[in-house]
């Protein structure tokens, strides 16, 4: 597979791009000498780059240019900066960076000029690991140089420690705040020295989250909490089908309701605008709307999935090692011939979509819990017919994200309503809108056929998946990556070209086959193929994206083959992984952690699964029991190798969270569409795991010297297959369809 | 209508059937109480009414006038966090944090009733609150820690 423009490069190009961008800023383009000196003269602040500022009070301020969606990025970034500036992470004064050009650090390899500000692909720590430490080290070296100059000693004889520069020989010291003005006059170091791993003081050790206190006191400001002067509130009513426009709106009674300012028919629905949101909610009950049919009228997901199951084709190959079809034809017998199915899924972040928009003439200011300020700039800029450089986005704390907030649809709604009413608007979706008008994890039907050789190894495996490609909707999230001096039509065609290039380079669909195309299992005849389905249903990245489906398929299939070969599922997987590989190491670690081989408690069984994703390797063992027909997961063991760990407790939290997020979906969740209408409208129909069903989870982090890789998503893919494999071990029922509880109920009945 | 929120009296001019959630957030500026579902399904809006957990999104404001209402903003004593908040910090519970006001208030109500709760007590009460980030294992640990902290501080949590 070409490494050119895979999803890896697409979202992980940040690795190279981030370093470059911050490097440029350090070298002066992002903060020329004169500007640094002028800022220090005017404010007393030392700001050698866009990220790190030393205040005259001595406090270190940090611009976090990623969304804090719970993954702990603010803490990780504060820790990286604290390490090099010799302060405590908890003392760093962080804020979320506005949508300025210097924060567009996510780039795509081989696509010149492309750069966006976005949070996704589990890239935030890997992107910033070196650049942010350099940004902080530059400030430290300037402070040290300024102190050394004041004392007329060599900088080598000075040390930075606990927010001060010391000269141990003469027992003199300056606080950082006393040095900012003179430090600003020092040259900005091009390659400031960063610590080696054995010199780390807080990286890998520090525990407490820097946003913890704000989040336990109610002080953290999420998008939904933002208020601006003269603001009014909007409650959006969306049509039953996707893209439905209002045909007729009867709103006389609603308009007379107290506090109501207007009821607006918009291209995307109806906005009830009032002084207060509770007034808009009251009035919304009085609005009567006839809707045009949206694009999805007639769509039925059950019919769609039945049709996919009946599909007779071979798909376009994404990987073709050896000759799998021939090997399967000539095998003594096909050991496995199975169809796996995964449903559409909603992200359902707990904070519903919302945005505050202020439109002033031809400029717009937005406050939103968003994962891609660039996408908001571009989509709002286009909707209002203004350049995206006239759209300023303030990112707030976000109540979950999971990929949903990479889109900018809700911001367009807020901005267009604000323009219509001529006042600042806060627009808040209902939970029902969030569930029924989302962008979903696509459903997939996957055919797997495999044969064993006489030694009980997999001789051939053919994987053919049918699903809706998310590249089209992803293009929305990547829009705005081109420079604003390109005319809008060129930018649009350019981002389409970017996606086309990406798709062609990794054809077939890079997301649909990820985790299967790049499986590390050693299988001499391996075919991975894809057939796209077109439905018109909006789809998008959902925590771990294609891996969330393909992890289930591959790890279920391997388990079926292990049982067919009469081998232990752990040993069988191990035999298919390279000796000395990271995959084997992590698989061994989880087996050791759980004590694989010892008998599970009576009435319980274990299932094992592993998966490589987002640069990291994760393996999980689930302990399952069935009580009164309910599949219950009682324990989960997880091992991960994700490079150098910045904050081990947050890595553990992300794995726990990924496991529980994945388990909610694996057991119970699905989005179904009937005649174009999503049937699941709130948390009663999309159940999420609750405390009483939350398993005990143990996480082991494998020590590594490699640069950090992803942790937000890699915990998700192994959990569904680990549970399905455990259910098989317990009951002999092989569940090939998600969600597993529904599949189990069907298996019991039949 | 007169409300008593976090020990302070406040007058609000809203219809009596207005959900308490929006009165707290919009009329009193107490945005620590969150909107998640509007149907008492997720628990993000949990507040205490006379010490008992209530879902503010389906609580008519008129029904709780003249009762003691506590929101997350009313838990700490100046800079000294409530034992439950302190335990939440020490266990690094919050991820996105959006559900945590509701989780914390549910835990406060639980510990007031059962100062040393069993796992079943925790399950019964805390299952009303949904966390999409999956902080349940830490919440369970934090409740145990809060109970210990409270008994060390020598009083009900």
Of B40, B74, B108, which residue constitutes the final position of a domain? B74
Residues B16 and B63 in one domain: yes
Q: Stretch A512-530: mean pLDDT, rounded? A: 96
In Å, how far is A346's CA from the nearest CA of chain B? 12
Q: Are A98 and A104 in contact (CB under 8 A)?
A: no
Tokens of A361: 């003439």
Residues B56 and B119 in one domain: no
Q: How many domains does chain B have?
A: 2
Give A571-581 pLDDT, tens digit per residue.
999 999 999 99
Q: Stretch A439-468: mean pLDDT, rounded? A: 96
Residues B87 and B70 in one domain: no
CA separation for the pair A703, A682 (Å, rounded): 41
Tokens of A534: 């077109």
Residues B64 and B8 in one domain: yes
CB proximity A653 to B under 8 Å:
yes
Residues B129 and B104 in one domain: yes
Residues B59 and B8 in one domain: yes
**Can you list the positions of beta strands (E) in B39-136?**
46-49, 52-55, 68-70
* Alpha-carbon Rg for chain A in angstroms: 27
Residues B66 and B8 in one domain: yes
Give A394-407 pLDDT, tens digit per residue.
999 999 999 999 99
CATH value at residue B107: 1.10.150.120
- Between β-strands A605-613 and A336-342, what pairing exists: parallel, antiparallel or unpaired? unpaired
Residues 6+ apart with CB under 8 A from A388: A374, A377, A378, A380, A381, A382, A480, A484
N- to C-terminal Cα distance for chain A?
43
Shortest CA distance from A400: residue in chain B: B96
Tokens of A408: 């900018």
Q: Token match 């891996």: residue?
A: A547
Q: Which of A278, A352, A691 sits opposite B139 (nearest CB)?
A: A691
The kind and range of the H/E element at A308 are helix A301-309
Residues of chain B neighbouring A398 (CB-CB closer than 8 A): 96
Give A306-353 pLDDT, tens digit per residue.
999 999 888 999 999 999 999 999 888 779 999 999 999 999 999 999
CA separation for the pair A661, A709 (Å, rounded): 20
Indicate yes or no: CB of B39 within 8 angstroms of CB of A684: yes
Q: In 3-state terms, what secondary structure has residue A608? A: strand
Is residue A598 over pLDDT 50?
A: yes
Tokens of A568: 């232990």
Is residue A28 over pLDDT 80?
A: no
CB proximity A627 to B under 8 Å:
no
The kind and range of the H/E element at A446 are strand A444-452
Containing structural domain, residue B119 = 83-153
Average pLDDT over chain A reads 91
Q: Are A718 and A321 in contact (CB under 8 A)?
A: no
Residues B101 and B37 in one domain: no
Residues of chain B neighbouring A402 (CB-CB closer than 8 A): 132
Q: Stretch A677-685: mean pLDDT, rounded? A: 97
CB proximity A282 to B under 8 Å:
yes
Residues B142 and B94 in one domain: yes
pTM of the complete model = 0.95
Of B74, B94, B119, which residue constitutes the final position of a domain? B74
State CA A704 to chain mean position distance. Answer: 23
Say how many C-beta atoms besides its own lie within 10 A of residue B151's C-beta: 14
Residues B12 and B29 in one domain: yes
- Rounded to 5°, the CA angle A26-A27-A30 comes to 65
Give A258-292 pLDDT, tens digit per residue.
999 999 999 999 999 999 999 999 999 999 999 99
- Between β-strands A93-96 and A60-64, what pairing exists: parallel, antiparallel or unpaired? parallel
Mutation pick from A67, A76, A216 vs chain B, by most beta carbons of B within 10 Å, is A216
Indicate yes or no: CB of B96 within 8 angstroms of CB of A397: yes
Residue by residue, DSSP assigns A460-471 as EEEEEEEE--SH
- Picking from B22, B24, B29, the residue whose alpha carbon sits closest to that of residue B3 is B24
HEC states along A331-361? CCCCCEEEEEEECEECCCCCCCCEEEEEEEC
Residues of chain B neighbouring A278 (CB-CB closer than 8 A): 14, 18-19, 22-23, 26
Of B74, B93, B117, which residue constitutes the final position of a domain? B74
pLDDT computed for residue A86 by the predictor: 98
Indicate yes or no: CB of A649 within 8 angstroms of CB of B92: yes
Is pLDDT larger for residue A231 or for residue A475? A231
Residues B70 and B87 in one domain: no
Helices (H), A682-732: 719-731
Helices (H), A479-627: 488-505, 547-564, 569-575, 582-594
Report helix, strand and coil shares of chain A as percent, to nearest 5. 35, 25, 40
CATH value at residue B8: 3.10.20.30
Is residue A169 over pLDDT 90?
A: yes
ipTM score here? 0.98
Q: In 3-state terms, what secondary structure has residue B100? A: helix
pLDDT in tens, chain B (157 residues): 999 999 999 999 999 999 999 999 999 999 999 999 999 999 999 999 999 999 999 999 999 999 999 999 999 999 999 999 999 999 999 999 999 999 999 999 999 999 999 999 999 999 999 999 999 999 999 999 999 999 998 765 5
- Residue ranges and CATH numbers for the domains of chain A are 7-205 (3.30.365.10), 311-344+441-470+509-749 (3.30.365.10)
Residues B9 and B64 in one domain: yes
Give A481-506 pLDDT, tens digit per residue.
666 665 555 555 555 555 555 554 44
Tokens of A229: 């002067």
């Amino acid at each position: 597979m070409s490494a050119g423009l895979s999803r890896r490069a697409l979202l992980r190009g940040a690795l190279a791009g981030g370093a470059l961008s911050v490097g440029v800023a350090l070298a002066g383009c992002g903060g020329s000498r004169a500007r640094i000196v002028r800022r220090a003269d005017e404010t007393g602040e030392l700001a050698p780059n866009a990220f790190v500022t030393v205040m005259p009070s001595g406090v270190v301020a940090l611009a976090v240019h990623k969304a804090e969606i719970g993954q702990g990025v603010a803490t990780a970034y504060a820790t990286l900066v604290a390490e090099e500036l010799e302060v405590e992470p908890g003392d760093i004064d962080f804020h979320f960076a506005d949508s300025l050009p210097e924060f567009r650090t996510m780039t795509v390899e081989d696509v010149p000029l492309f750069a966006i500000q976005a949070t996704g692909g589990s890239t935030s720590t890997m992107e910033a690991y070196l650049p942010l430490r350099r940004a902080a080290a530059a400030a430290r070296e300037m402070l040290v140089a300024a102190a050394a100059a004041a004392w007329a000693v060599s900088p080598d004889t000075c040390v930075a420690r606990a927010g001060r520069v010391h000269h141990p020989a003469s027992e003199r010291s300056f606080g950082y705040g006393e040095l900012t003005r003179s430090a600003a006059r020092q040259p900005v170091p091009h390659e400031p020295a960063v610590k080696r791993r054995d010199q780390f003081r807080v990286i890998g050790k520090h525990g407490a989250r820097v946003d913890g206190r704000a989040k336990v006191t109610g002080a953290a400001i999420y998008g939904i909490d933002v208020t601006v002067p003269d603001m009014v509130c909007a409650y959006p009513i969306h049509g039953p089908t996707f893209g439905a426009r209002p045909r007729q709106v009867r709103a006389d009674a609603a308009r007379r309701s107290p506090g109501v300012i207007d009821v607006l028919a918009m291209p995307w629905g109806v906005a009830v605008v009032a002084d207060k949101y509770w007034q808009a909610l009251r009035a919304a009950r009085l609005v009567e709307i006839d809707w045009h049919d949206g694009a999805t009228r007639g769509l039925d997901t059950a019919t769609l999935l039945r049709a996919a199951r009946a599909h007779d084709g071979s798909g376009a190959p994404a990987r073709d090692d050896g000759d799998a079809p021939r090997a399967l034809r000539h095998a003594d017998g096909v050991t496995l011939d199975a169809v796996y199915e995964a449903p559409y899924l909603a992200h359902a972040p707990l904070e519903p979509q919302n945005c505050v928009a202020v439109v002033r003439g031809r400029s717009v200011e937005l406050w939103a819990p968003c994962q891609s300020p660039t996408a908001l700039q571009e989509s709002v800029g286009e909707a209002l017919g203004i350049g995206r450089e006239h759209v300023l986005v303030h990112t707030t704390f976000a109540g979950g994200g999971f990929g949903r907030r990479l889109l900018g649809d809700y911001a367009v709604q807020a901005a267009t309503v604000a323009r219509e009413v001529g006042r600042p608007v806060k627009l808040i979706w209902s939970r029902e809108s969030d569930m029924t008008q989302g962008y979903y994890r696509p459903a997939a039907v996957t055919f797997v056929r495999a044969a064993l050789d006489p030694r009980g190894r997999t001789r051939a495996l053919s994987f053919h998946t049918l699903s809706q490609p998310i590249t089209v909707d992803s293009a929305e999230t990547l829009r705005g990556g081109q420079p604003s001096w390109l005319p809008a039509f060129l930018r649009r065609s350019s981002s389409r070209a970017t996606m086309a290039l990406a798709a062609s380079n990794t054809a077939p669909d890079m997301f649909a086959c990820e985790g299967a195309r790049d499986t590390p299992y050693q299988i001499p005849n391996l075919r991975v193929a894809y057939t796209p389905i077109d439905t018109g249903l909006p789809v998008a990245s959902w925590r771990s994206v294609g891996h969330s489906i393909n992890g289930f398929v591959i790890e279920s299939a391997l388990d079926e083959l292990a049982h067919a070969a009469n081998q232990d599922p752990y040993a069988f997987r191990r035999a298919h992984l390279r000796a000395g590989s990271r995959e084997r190491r992590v698989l061994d670690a989880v087996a050791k952690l759980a004590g694989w081989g010892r008998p599970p408690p009576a009435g319980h069984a274990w299932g094992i699964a592993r998966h490589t994703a987002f640069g990291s390797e994760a393996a999980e063992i689930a302990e399952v029991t069935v009580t009164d027909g309910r599949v219950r997961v009682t324990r989960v063991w997880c091992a991960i190798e994700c490079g150098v760990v910045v904050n081990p407790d947050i890595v553990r939290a992300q794995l726990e969270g990924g496991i529980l997020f994945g388990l909610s979906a694996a057991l119970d969740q699905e989005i179904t569409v009937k005649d174009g209408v999503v049937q699941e409208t709130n948390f009663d129909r999309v159940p999420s795991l609750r405390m009483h069903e939350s398993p005990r989870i143990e996480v082991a982090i494998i020590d590594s010297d490699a640069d950090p890789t992803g942790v937000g998503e890699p915990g998700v893919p192994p959990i569904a297959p680990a549970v399905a494999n455990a259910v098989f071990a317990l009951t002999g029922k092989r569940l090939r369809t998600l969600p597993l509880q529904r599949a189990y109920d069907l298996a019991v009945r039949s | 209508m007169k409300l008593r929120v976090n020990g302070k009296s406040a007058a609000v001019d809203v219809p009596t059937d207005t959900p308490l959630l929006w009165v707290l957030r919009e009329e009193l500026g107490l945005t620590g109480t969150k909107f998640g579902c509007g149907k008492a399904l997720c628990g993000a809006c949990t507040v205490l009414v006379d010490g008992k957990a209530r879902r503010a999104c389906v609580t008519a404001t008129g029904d709780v006038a003249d009762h003691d209402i506590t929101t997350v903003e009313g838990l700490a004593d100046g800079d000294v966090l409530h034992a439950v908040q302190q335990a939440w910090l020490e266990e690094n519970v919050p991820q996105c944090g959006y559900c945590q006001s509701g989780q914390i208030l549910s835990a406060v109500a639980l510990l007031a009733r059962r100062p040393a709760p069993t796992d079943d007590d925790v399950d019964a009460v805390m299952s009303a609150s949904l966390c999409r980030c999956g902080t349940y294992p830490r919440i369970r640990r934090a409740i145990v820690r809060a109970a210990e902290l409270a008994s060390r501080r020598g009083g009900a949590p």
